[in-house]
Amino acid sequence: MVRTQISLTKEEYAAAKREARRLGISLAELLRRSLRNTLPVDEDRPWVRYAGLIESGDAASSQKIDELVYGQKG
């Protein structure tokens, strides 16, 4: 993953934080999803648009991905 920095107005930042909180996701995830919905789809890999959108209900799921995917710790 690449880390980047953006500038938002106070109003944009507050609105984005509220929406992320409402959805139960991080601000970074809200922005990634927004970009996925805005950028053109790679016709060779149309499934990529949906990558990361499945929710497990576990806020720490990204920290135990092997267990969730493979049924065991890595």
SS3 10: helix
pLDDT in tens, 29-66: 999 999 888 887 666 765 555 665 556 666 666 666 66
Boundaries of domain holding 13: 8-53
Q: Is residue 65 part of a domain?
A: no
Tokens of 2: 């690449």
Is 22 within 8 Å of 28 (Cβ atoms)?
no
For the whole model, what pTM was predicted? 0.55
Lowest mean pLDDT among 25-29, 51-55, 69-73: 51-55
Q: Is residue 12 part of a domain?
A: yes
Q: Is residue 37 part of a domain?
A: yes
Higher pLDDT, 50 or 17: 17
Q: Is residue 24 part of a domain?
A: yes
Higher pLDDT, 6 or 52: 6
